[in-house]
Amino acid sequence: MFQLKTTPFHERTSKLCLPQNWRRWAGYLVVGSYDLTLDREYWAIRNSAALIDVTPLMKYMITGKDASRLLNRVVTRDMDKLKVGQVYYTGWCDDEGKMIDDGTISRLDETTYRMTSADPSLRWLSMNAVGLDVEITEVTDEVAALSFQGPNSRKVLNKVADDPVDGLKYFRLMQNQVDGIPVTISRTGYTGDLGFEIWMDAKDALTIWDALMDAGQDYGITPVGILAMDMARVEAGLFMIEVDYTSTSHAWIEPQKSSPFELGLDWTVALDKQGYFVGRRALEREKREGSAWKMMGLEVEWEGMEQLFKSVGLPPQIPGMAFRGSLPVMVGNIQVGYASTSTWSPLLKKYIALAHLQKPYYEVGTNVRMEITVEHHRQHAPAKVVKLPFYEPEWKKK
Amino acid sequence: MTANQYDAIIIGGGHNGLVAAAYLARAGKKVVVLERRHIVGGAAVTEEIFPGYKFTEFSYVVSLLRPEIIRDLELPKHGLKILPLPSTFTPMDGERRGDYLASWDDHDLTRRELYRHSPKDAEAYDEYAPVMARAAKAIKPIINLIPPDPSSLHPRDLFNLLKVGQYAKSLSEKELYTIAKLVTQSSADLLEEWFETDALKGTKAASGIIGTFLGPRSPGTAYVLLHHYMGEIDGAFRAWGFAKGGSGGVSGSILNAAKALGVEIRVNASVKQVIVKNGRAVGVALENGDELHSNVVMSAADPKRTFLQFVESRYFPEDFVTSIQNFRTRGSSGKVNIALSELPNFTALPFEGKGADSALHRGAVSISPSIDYIERAYDDAKYGQISKRPYLDMIFPSMIDPDMAPPGEHVLSCFVQYAPYDLEGGWNDEKRNELGEAVISTIEEYAPNIRKCIVGMQVISPKDIEAIAGITGGNIFHGELLLHQIFFLRPVPQWVDFRTPLKGYYFGASGAHPGGGVMGAAGMLAAKEILKDGNW
Ligand SMILES: Cc1cc2nc3c(=O)[nH]c(=O)nc-3n(C[C@H](O)[C@H](O)[C@H](O)COP(=O)(O)OP(=O)(O)OC[C@H]3O[C@@H](n4cnc5c(N)ncnc54)[C@H](O)[C@@H]3O)c2cc1C
C-alpha cells in the first residue's frame, strides 16, 4: 500500500522489465532498463525508435489572461516570443540568478501553457503569481507522457497518427489523434536525436502505447528505460538537475549553485526582454562581469587513457552506463573543475563527460586531465575541452 | 590509593553520568559512578514491570545520541543497536475523522502522502524541511562549542552573540535571520506560515512543546521544533530510532563500555552530600554513611539536587543560588506504559489478522490532530488540570524489537502531555488513575478496541518521574527548553562550561549545556573539561 507511484504505463512496462531494474524518478517507479545490458536500448535511440515512459516529469497547466506575464516573470526566456504551437526549453532562477530548475514550456493557445519541470514547482509559481489573473494546475498524474525518440520515430508516428507529422518542426507541437484519441505531439526530447514527445490523458495511456508498439514493429520500436536515455542525453549535451547542477532549493552552500551562464545556457537568458524577471539584476551583473565557471564537454584522449591501463597490464575499462559521480578535473596539480556525468559513447566510441570548469580552463581545446580509476588506483587521464553537444545528427532539427 | 579514593566520583548513573565516567576511564582515570537506584540508566531505563513485558519506562526514542560518543566508546560492540522507526501516523479529527496523515523516512512517500491531503502543503514541505535542516545544521556546531562567557549579554542579544562567534561568521544573513526568527516565534506562528493541513500542523507543533510547560501558541516554542530536528542516526538528519531493548539498551551499552574501561559502578548508593574542605570538593558522603574521596566530583543529577541539595549553599555566590532556584523545571508530561495481549486496531487504517505487518504500528502514532487540539490540552494544564484530551506520542516497541514482549503479544509506550507537576489538589492514586483514563479514552477514540487488549498498565506522573528517576520537578529534560535556558544560559549564565563556583565540583547532565534528551553530550563535554583541568 505504501509504495511509490506507478505510471499509467505500468501494466505494460512491468511485464517487459525482465531484469527488474527499477529506478525512482520524482516519486514514481520507472524502468531503468528492459535488458540486463543497455546496448540494445541505447541503439534503439540512435538507430531506430525508442519508446520511453517520461510520465514522472512534473507538469503544470498555466492559464489565464496573465499566463504569459507570470511565465515571463519566472523564467529567463522571452515568453512574448513564444508562438502558439511552439515549445521553449528554459531555466528559471532565484533572485541571485542561480538555477532553481529547468524544463519546457509549450504554448497551447493564446492564454494556455503547459510547463514541465523536474522538481515540484507549484509553490514557486503560485508565489510569483500574486496579483495576476492566472490559474496554475498541476497535471502530473493526469497527463501521461511518452518520449518517442530515434531516426524511425517519425515514420511510426505517421502510421498511427491521423495527421502526418512530417511538417512538425523542431520544438513545435501539434494536436493530433491516434486511434481516435486526442494527443499532443511535440518535436522534443532528451536524446538529441530526431524525436517526439506524446502527451495524452492518463486513461488513454495503454491504448496509445499499444498502438505505437504495434505500428512500430517493422521499424525496430523498442521500449527503453531511463538508463540508456541517460547515456544519450550526455552525448546530446543535456544535463540533469541534482546530477549536473544543484537546484538552489537543495543547495547547502553557495558554491553548489549555478547560474544559467555557468551552465552554458546563455542562449536562454533573454536580458533584452521587457520588465523584471526573477534573477534579472544578478544575471545582468554576471553578464557584465563574466562567469567564473562554465559547463563544457570533455573528451578523454583514448591513447593517454590506454597508456594508464597498459602500465598495469590491462586494456582500458570504462563503465557501461552513465556514471553520476563527481570526478576531479586537473591542470597540472591544480583542480580546475569536476565532471558531473561521464559515459562511454557507444556511437562516438569515446569516453565523454559533462564538466564544470573554472575560468580560463573552459576554453575549447584546453588540455586537462580527468580522474579515472585504474585497478583501484586513482589516475588522471588526459582530456580535451570541447563544445557541447558531443553528437548532433543532421536529422535532429530537419 | 585507598579503597575509597578515586580520580573522579560521578554522582548519578543516568546515561550522562555513565558517558562522563567512560570518557574519564578512557583517559586512564580511576572512576566510580554512584547511583541511588538499584539500576543505572536514570530516565533511560527499561524495566519489566509486568513479567515478560519490557517497558522503555521513560525515554523511548533515540535521535540525539551523539555519533562521536557511539564511535569513541564503541557502543555497537557493547550492544547498541538503533533500529529504524520509519513513519509517524496521525489519525485525523473533525471532518477528516477516519483518515490519517502519515509521514515517512522516505521523501517521495511523504510527499505523495501530503499531496493526498494538500498539494500546497506537499510543495511547502519540500522547502520547509531543508530550511529547518539547514537551520539545525547551522545551530549544530554551536551545540558542540563550549560557549564563551556571555555574562555581559542579555538573552535578547542571542542574535548578536551568534553573529560574533567565529562559526556564525560563516552563516549567511538569511540563515542567521531564520535562526533568530526560530528562537523567538511560537511554533503555531511558524507552522501557519507554511502549512494548511491541520494534522500536519498539529503533529509538527507537538514536537515544539514536548518537555515544556507551554502551548503551541506560546512564543519560543519554534526553537524547540528545531531542537528536535537535530537528531542524527548514522549521519542522516532527523531520523528517529528505537534502541534494541528500549532506552535501557542505550544505557546498557554505555554501562558495558564503561565497565570494560574499568569504571566501578555502585548502585543503591545514594549521595547525601558533597564533602568540602578548604573551599573545594574532596569527596562525597552517602546516605548509608560511607565516604568516598576524590579531588574531582561531578554531579550528573538534576540542577536543583546538584546545587541546592548536595552542596550547602554557603559555598556558592548568592546570585548563583538564586539563578538555580529560578531555573524552571516544571514537569508537564507523563508516561503510560501498557502491556497488550494484542494490537489495538485503528479505524483510520485497520489491519486484518493480528496486525504483524501493520505499517501504522511499526512507526510512531501521534494524537495531535490540530494545533487547537494541543492548545486546548494546554489550557487544562494552565489551570492545574490533567488534559482531558492530551497530546499522545505512541510507539509499539514490540513491533520494532520483538523481544520486548512475549511472542505474539505487545507493549505500548505512550508519552502524554499535559500532566502538570503542580496539579490542583496534588498527585495521588486517584489522580494517577485519572491520567491513565484520559490516555485510554483518548486512544479509544481512534482505536476502539484498546481496552480489551490491555494486560497491565503503568501510569507515570511527573511526581513519579521525580520519585523513580530522581529528577526534581519531574521535567523530562531536567529543565525546560526555554529560550532563556538554552545554550550559554544553561544552567546559569557564566557557569556553562561544566565547572561550578565550587572548585573540584563539576556538573554534566541534561540540565547543563546543551540540554536534555538521550544525547550524552553534557557528559562527554564535561569529562573533557575535567581532563583539561587535570586536578590530579
Ligand atoms: C517520560 C520521559 C520521556 C522521555 N522521552 C525521551 C525520548 O523519547 N527521547 C529522548 O531523547 N529523551 C527523552 N527524555 C529525556 C531523557 O530521558 C533525559 O533527558 C535523559 O535520560 C537524562 O539523562 P541524564 O543522564 O542527564 O539524567 P538522568 O537520566 O535523570 O540521570 C540522573 C541520575 O541521577 C540519579 N540520582 C539522583 N539523585 C541521586 C543521588 N542523591 N545519589 C545518587 N544518584 C542520584 C538518578 O537516580 C538518575 O539515575 C524523556 C524523559 C522522560 C522523563
pLDDT tens for each residue of A348-374? 989 999 999 999 999 999 999 999 999
B502 is a domain residue: yes
- Cell 532528451 belongs to A190
> What pLDDT, on a 0 to 100 scale, did the predictor assign at position B210?
87
Identify the pLDDT of residue B229.
66
Q: Do A252 and B137 touch (CB under 8 A)?
A: yes
**How far A344 CA lies from chain B's nearest CA (Å)?**
31
Mean pLDDT over A111-132 rounds to 95
Report how far ligand 1's centroid is from the alpha carbon of A150 (Å).
66
pLDDT digits (tens, 9 = 90+) for A14-23: 999 999 999 9
* B278-288 pLDDT per residue, tens: 999 999 999 99
Contact between B123 and A250 using a beta-carbon 8 Å cutoff: no
Query: How far is residue B338 from each of residues A247, B53, B331, B412, measured CA to CA in Å?
Result: 47, 9, 21, 5
Q: Which of B467, B148, B471 is nearest to B299 (CA)?
A: B471
Alpha-carbon distance B80 to nearest alpha carbon in chain A (angstroms) = 29
Residue A230 vs residues A182, A238, A361, B326, B390: alpha-carbon distances, Å: 29, 9, 26, 63, 52
Cβ of A123 within 8 Å of Cβ of B134? The answer is: no
Ligand 1 atom with the smallest distance to the CA of B309 is: 41
**Cβ contact A353:A342 at 8 Å:** yes
User: Cα separation of B476 and B302, whole Å?
Assistant: 10
Give the containing element (helix H, strand E) for B68: helix B67-72
The predicted-structure confidence for A75-84, as pLDDT tens digits, reads as follows: 999 999 999 9
Residue B500 in this model has a pLDDT that exceeds 50: yes
- Does A122 touch chain B if contact means CB atoms closer than 8 Å? yes
Amino acid at B97: R
> Is the confidence at residue B235, as pLDDT, over 60?
no
Q: Quote the pLDDT of residue B165.
A: 57
Per-window interface: A 7-66 vs B, CB < 8 A: 24, 26-27
Q: Are residues A147 and A51 in the same domain?
A: yes
**A267 at interface of B, judged by CB pairs closer than 8 A:** no
Is the pLDDT assigned to residue A214 strictly greater than 80? yes
Q: Is B167 exposed, middle or buried (0-12, 13-18, 19+ CB in 10 A)?
A: middle
- Which residue's CA is minimally distant from atom 5 of ligand 1? B59
Beta strands in A213-292 (DSSP E): 221-223
Using beta carbons and an 8 Å cutoff, which residues of B are at the interface with A? 87, 102, 104, 108-109, 111-112, 119-120, 122-124, 126-127, 130, 134, 137, 172, 359
Residue nearest ligand 1's atom 2 by CA: B58
Which pLDDT tens digit goes with each residue over B146-197? 443 333 334 444 554 554 455 666 667 777 777 777 777 899 999 999 999 9
B365/chain A closest Cα distance in angstroms: 16
CATH number at residue A355: 2.40.30.110
**Pair (A322, A374) in one structural domain:** yes
For position B185, what pLDDT does the model report? Answer: 84
Nearest Cα neighbor of A191 from A58, A87, A302, A345 is A345
CB A88 within 8 A of CB A38: no
What's the pLDDT tens digit per position in B357-378? 899 999 999 999 999 999 999 9
Identify whether the C-beta of residue A156 lies closer than 8 Å to the C-beta of residue A145. Answer: no
Domain encompassing residue B255: 5-43+68-76+244-328+471-533
- A163 and A177 Cβ atoms separated by less than 8 Å: yes
Distance B535 CA to ligand 1 centre (A): 28
Query: Of the residues A224, A247, A269, which one is the last residue of a structural domain?
Result: A224
In a domain, residue A229? The reply is no
A240 domain-assigned: no
Question: What are the DSSP calls for A94-147, one per residue?
Answer: -TTS-EEEEEEEEEEETTEEEEEESS--HHHHHHHTTTS--EEEE-TTTEEEEE
> Domain ends where: A224, A242, A275?
A224
Rounded Cα distance between A91 and A121, Å, is 12
pLDDT at A272 over 50: yes
* A116-A117-A120 Cα angle (round to 5): 120
Average pLDDT over residues A294-310: 96
Which residues from A are below 8 Å from B172, CB to CB?
Answer: 254
For residue A260, what are the contacts with CB-CB under 8 A and spacing of at least 6?
A76, A91, A93, A97, A99, A266, A268, A269, A283
Whether the CB-CB separation of B11 and B289 falls below 8 Å is answered with no
Distance B16 CA to ligand 1 centre (A): 8
Question: If you measure CA to CA, which chain A residue comes closest to B360?
Answer: A2
> Would you tell me how many other CB atoms lie within 10 Å of the CB of residue B448?
13
B184 vs B254: which has the higher pLDDT: B254
Element (H, E) at B249: helix B247-260
> Residues A49, A159: one domain?
yes
Average pLDDT over residues B380-401: 97
Determine the residue of B55, B58, B255 to mutate for testing ligand 1's pocket, defined as the one with the most ligand atoms within 8 A of the Cβ atom.
B58
Strands of the sheet containing B8-11, edge to edge, are B264-266, B31-34, B8-11, B297-299, B505-507
User: Is A396 a member of any domain?
Assistant: no
Chain centroid to CA B536: 34
- CA-B305 nearest atom, ligand 1: 38
* Number of domains chain A is built from: 3
Q: Which of A289, A308, A328 is the last residue of a domain?
A: A289
Q: Do B126 and A120 touch (CB under 8 A)?
A: yes
User: Residues enclosing ligand 1, CB less than 6 A?
Assistant: B 11-17, 34-37, 42-44, 58-61, 64, 270-271, 300-301, 305, 335, 415, 465, 469-471, 476-477, 509-510, 516-518
Of chain A, the percentage scoring pLDDT greater than 90 comes to: 94
**Which one of B87, B100, B126 would you mutate to disrupt binding with A, by most A Cβ within 10 Å of its Cβ?**
B126
Centre of ligand 1 to C-alpha B44, Å, is 6
| pLDDT at site B358 | 93
Mean pLDDT, chain B, integer:
89
The answer as to whether B407 is a domain residue is: no
B215-228 average pLDDT score: 81
Q: Which protein residue has the closest C-alpha to ligand 1 atom 13?
A: B59
> In terms of domains, do A320 and A381 share one?
yes
Considering the domain boundaries, does residue B462 fall inside one?
no
Residue B230 has pLDDT above 70, yes or no: no
The residue with cell 513491533 is B399
Residue with cell 557501461: A320
Same domain for A150 and A278? no
**Mean pLDDT across the stretch A113-120?**
96
CATH code of the domain covering residue B268: 3.50.50.60
**Does some domain include residue B514?**
yes
What digits encode the pLDDT tens for the residues B410-451? 999 999 999 999 999 999 999 999 999 999 999 999 999 999
CA dist B274 and B371 (Å) reads 46
The string of pLDDT tens digits covering residues B286-333 is: 999 999 999 999 999 999 999 999 999 999 999 889 889 988 888 999
Separation in Å, CA of A136 to nearest CA in chain B: 12
Q: Which atom of ligand 1 is nearest to the CA of B61?
A: 8
In contact, B21 and B264? CB cutoff 8 Å: no
Contact (CB, 8 A) for A300 and A367: no
A223: exposed, middle or buried (Cβ count in 10 Å: 0-12, 13-18, 19+): buried
Dist CA B530 CA B534 (whole Å): 6
For residues B460 and B505, what is the distance between their CA atoms, to the nearest angstrom? Answer: 32
* Contact status of A251 with chain B (Cβ, < 8 Å): no
Pair A112, A63 in one domain: yes
Quick check: B359 and A1 CB within 8 A?
Answer: yes
How near does any CA of chain A get to the CA of B319, in Å?
43
CA of B378 to the centre of ligand 1 (A): 24
Q: Whose CA is nearest to atom 18 of ligand 1?
A: B517
Instruction: Pull the grid cell for residue A324.
Output: 553520476
Question: Is pLDDT of B138 > 80?
Answer: no
Residues A50 and A144 in one domain: yes
Nearest CA to ligand 1 atom 51: B476
Average pLDDT, chain A: 96
A203 and A269 both lie in a single domain: no
Task: Among B104, B110, B115, B137, pick the best mutation site for testing chain A contact (most A Cβ within 10 A).
Answer: B115
All residues of chain B having their beta carbon less than 8 Å from the beta carbon of residue A26 are 108
Across the interface, whether the CB atoms of B126 and A123 are under 8 A apart is answered yes
The mean-pLDDT minimum among A182-191, A247-256, B473-482 falls in: B473-482
Query: Are A26 and B108 an interchain contact pair (Cβ–Cβ within 8 Å)?
Result: yes
- Nearest-CA residue for ligand 1 atom 45 is B12
Query: Which percentage of chain B shows pLDDT scores above 90?
Result: 69
A20 assigned to some structural domain: yes
Is A234 domain-assigned?
Answer: no
Residue type, A227: L
Are B480 and B490 within 8 A, CB to CB? no
Of B108, B127, B134, the CB nearest to A252: B134
Residue A340, strand partner residues:
none
Residue A251 falls inside a structural domain: no
Nearest Cα residue to atom 41 of ligand 1: B271
Number of domains within chain B:
1
At A312, list the grid cell: 598495469
A120 interface with B at CB cutoff 8 Å: yes
SS3 B147: coil
* CATH code for the domain of A155: 3.30.1360.120
pLDDT (0 to 100) of residue B236? 37
Residue B168: its pLDDT value, please? 62
Residue B153 pLDDT: 36
B-chain residues near A4 (CB < 8 A): 108-109, 112
B465 Cα to the center of ligand 1, angstroms: 9
Q: Average pLDDT in the A139-152 region?
A: 97
B182 in a domain, yes or no?
A: no
What's the pLDDT score for residue B414? 98
DSSP lists the bridge partners of residue A135 as: A63
A282-307 average pLDDT score: 96
- From ligand 1's centre to the CA of B358, what distance in Å? 32
Residue with cell 501493520: B358
Q: Confirm whether A254 is domain-assigned.
A: no
Domain shared by A48 and A172, yes or no? yes
Q: Is A187 in the same domain as A52?
A: yes
Tell me whether residue B324 is in a domain. Answer: yes
Residues of A with Cβ-Cβ distance to B86 under 8 angstroms: none
How big is chain A by its Cα radius of gyration, in Å? 21
Q: Which amino acid residue places its CA nearest to atom 7 of ligand 1?
A: B59
In a domain, A252, yes or no: no
Give me the mean pLDDT over the B261-289 stretch.
97
Give the ligand 1 atom nearest the CA of B460: 1
- In this prediction, residue A252 has a pLDDT band, given cuts at 50, 70 and 90, of confident
What is the C-alpha to C-alpha distance for residues A88 and A108, in angstroms, rounded to an integer? Answer: 12
Is B450 part of any domain?
no
Distance (Å, whole) CA A276 – CA A295? 26
B231: pLDDT strictly greater than 80 = no
CB contact under 8 A, A120 and B120: no
d(CA B191, CA B482): 19
A31 and A90 co-located in one domain: no
Which atom, in ligand 1's list, is nearest to the CA of B515? 19
Are A63 and A77 in the same domain?
A: yes
Q: Range of A77's domain?
A: 59-139+259-289
Task: For chains A and B, count residue pairs whose Cβ atoms are closer than 8 Å.
Answer: 41
